[in-house]
Amino acid sequence: MSSYGLELISSEQCQELLRTQTVGRVGVCTGRAGVFPVLYALLDDDVVFRTAPGEKLIAAALQREVVFEIDDFDVAARSGWSVNVLGNAEEIEDPHELARANALGLEPWAGEVRDRYVRIRATELSGRRIAPDPTAY
C-alpha cells in the first residue's frame, strides 16, 4: 500500500465496507442503461434491496448482470473509497428467503409501494481507495 494515491481494496475489505452503508446505486441495462439509488442490506453477503415494478425488477426477472456501487469521500482531505459489486440480479420469491429479506428491516423512503425484493449474487467484488497526498497541504 502506498502512503497516497490509488490503492486496491481486498474482497474482504470490500465486504466489510458494504456493511457500513445503507444507500447505494444499482446500474442496470435492459435496453436502456440506468443508475438508481437504493436502500440496501446484506443477506448471506449478497446485496438485497426493495423495489417496485420497473427497470430494476425487469433486470431481476431477466437475471441480468448489474453493477452495484457504494462510496464514501472527504472532499477537504481529498480521500475516499468506492466498492463495486458485479453480479446477476434475481427477484427473491421463495417464501423462506422472502421472510429473511423482510427481517432485514429495509423500509423504503419513496412513497410508492416497493414490495418486491431483488438480490444481487456477486460474481466480482472490487474496490479502490484514494489516499490523500500529504505534500498537497
CB 42 within 8 A of CB 19: yes
Rounded to whole angstroms, the Cα distance separating 112 from 95 reads 23
Q: CB-hemisphere CA count at 13 Å for 50?
A: 19
Rounded to whole angstroms, the Cα distance separating 53 from 136 reads 48
CATH for the 9-130 domain, from 3.20.20.10, 2.40.50.140, 3.30.365.10, 2.30.110.10: 2.30.110.10
Map out the domains of the chain as residue ranges. 9-130
Q: Which pTM value belongs to this model?
A: 0.88
Q: CB-hemisphere CA count at 13 Å for 121?
A: 8
Per-residue pLDDT tens digits of the chain, which is 137 residues long:
444 578 999 999 999 999 999 999 999 998 888 999 999 999 999 999 999 999 999 999 999 999 999 999 988 888 899 999 999 999 999 999 999 999 999 988 877 778 899 999 999 999 999 976 666 55
| Three-class secondary structure of residue 78 per DSSP | coil
